[in-house]
Amino acid sequence: MKRIIERTEDGSATLFVPELNEHYHSTKGARTESQHIFIDMGLKASAAISPRVLEIGFGTGLNAWLTLEEAERSGRNVHYTGLELYPLEWQMIEQLNYVTNDEQVTVNGEQQTAIELFKQLHTSPWEEEVELTPHFTLRKVQEDFKKLRMENGELRVNNTNDGTINSQFSTLNSPFNLNSQFNLVYFDAFAPEKQPEMWSQELFNRLYVLLAKDGILTTYCAKGIVRRMLQAAGFIVERLPGPPGGKREILRARKQE
């Protein structure tokens, strides 16, 4: 799938996919959008002491990076699981310049070269837990969320032709075990009109089960049909102001049972 780097209005970059006629982030401001929707309206709104985050659509890693930065600022320990079926190569990510060569990040009270840490985020092994900082543990999973099903309290993958569960698939067991449900879901799939299969009632029902009590789901999409599906799944849904200069509204859904 071809991807083209484009600059957005806040100076940060995004990727454009001609095949889908779709961008990875808002053209009004990639970094501004991610910071507002997933960090300010999501992570900062969570009362979890040690938040467990599930991102649907790891993509450029921008949401993960901003979460790492916030984890270091707040001192909260974040366990981050990112699902991505089509991982991007570091060579392309590097060209987005989300982190500059002279930028520093404070990790455990000490200054560290940000670009080295950002590269580790993208080049760390898939299907493994990696402690990138004392406050941020990452697990990247190369899998299609639509194929995942609950089985005996764990999320397993359906990767057989007849639709049955492959019970030998065990690499997802730890982060998806219902004894340690997620506190946050960053729902960052491509738009419903571009990727309708990712915006289904079944999928939102599944996400509701994966969230702990008081868990939060945030998404840039504020369409009425998406709001109604979230409500049908059991969420209490808020329409919130969108990012500066961007979408007028976004959605934040909470699990309160």
Residue 22 domain-assigned (yes or no): no
Instruction: Report the candidate in 176, 232, 223, 229 with the shortest Cα–Cα distance to residue 56.
Output: 176
Angle at 54 between CA 208 and CA 69, to 5 degrees: 140
Check residues 70 and 104 and name the one with the higher pLDDT: 70
Q: Is the pLDDT of residue 123 over 70?
A: yes
What is the distance between the alpha carbons of residues 21 and 17, in angstroms, rounded to a whole number?
Answer: 6
What integer pLDDT is reported at residue 239 of this predicted model?
A: 97
Instruction: Report the candidate in 149, 208, 153 with the shortest Cα–Cα distance to residue 179.
Output: 153
List the structure tokens of 168.
Answer: 């030998």
When pLDDT is cut at 50, 70 and 90, the band that residue 164 belongs to is very low
When pLDDT is cut at 50, 70 and 90, the band that residue 172 belongs to is very low
- % of the chain beyond a pLDDT of 70: 87
* Domains: count for the chain: 1
Check residues 154 and 96 and name the one with the higher pLDDT: 96
Residue 20 domain-assigned (yes or no): no
Residue 8 domain-assigned (yes or no): no
- Residue 46's domain comprises 30-254
Residue 192 domain-assigned (yes or no): yes
What integer pLDDT is reported at residue 168 of this predicted model?
A: 32
Residue 110 domain-assigned (yes or no): yes
Residue 15 domain-assigned (yes or no): no
Residue 23 domain-assigned (yes or no): no
Beta bridge partners, 251, equal 219, 239
Average pLDDT, integer, range 113-122: 94
Which CATH number does the domain housing residue 215 bear? 3.40.50.150
